[in-house]
Amino acid sequence: MNEPQPKYSLVLETPAASPEDTHRHYTNKLAVETDVSDVRYDMLHGLNEFTLIDVRSRKAYGECRIPGAMNLPSGEIDEKTTASLPKDRVIVVYCWGPACNGGTKGAARLSGLGFRVKEMLGGIEYWRREGNPVEGALGEEATLVG
């Protein structure tokens, strides 16, 4: 009789972390990320404990943005451009969407300047996909990608 050949697991090739290490990993991840629905929930309930920053270009921001967001393109973040931002508030940054790393770059630059920052996963693309309001010259007609 032919016995089945052992199969190699790509999932288990690297052993799973301990529950403690896994908990620490995901807690740390949540400390630096948020998502569209959490941002919208806070906005709807008047929980304005964070500053929302769109790190896309001025053009993209002018065409379509989340209401209440300020614009600070990620490549322009430095001590001078952030001088008026309060360091006692968390900053939430967003970019185009999952394929854009502008939010990550903005968060890195801001945290390097001493700000507490979270990146909004999904960016304006998922903000719009979830049916949330936008403002700007083109609003809903603006492109979903940069």
Q: Which of 72, 95, 107, 134 is catalytic?
A: 95
pLDDT, tens digit, 9 for 90 and up, residues 76-95: 999 999 999 999 999 999 99
Give pLDDT tens digits for 16-34: 999 999 999 999 999 999 9
Query: Does the active-site annotation cover 95?
Result: yes
Give the pLDDT of residue 1: 64
Q: 97, 124 in Cβ contact below 8 A?
A: yes
In-domain check, residue 80:
yes
The number of domains in the chain is 1
Residue 65 belongs to some domain of the structure? yes
Residue ranges making up the domain that contains 79: 33-133
For residue 43, is it within any domain?
yes
For a pLDDT cut of 70, what percent of the chain falls above it?
Answer: 99
11 is a domain residue: no
| Cα 121 versus chain centre, distance | 4
Residue 98 neighbours by CB under 8 Å, 6+ apart: 121, 122, 123, 125, 126
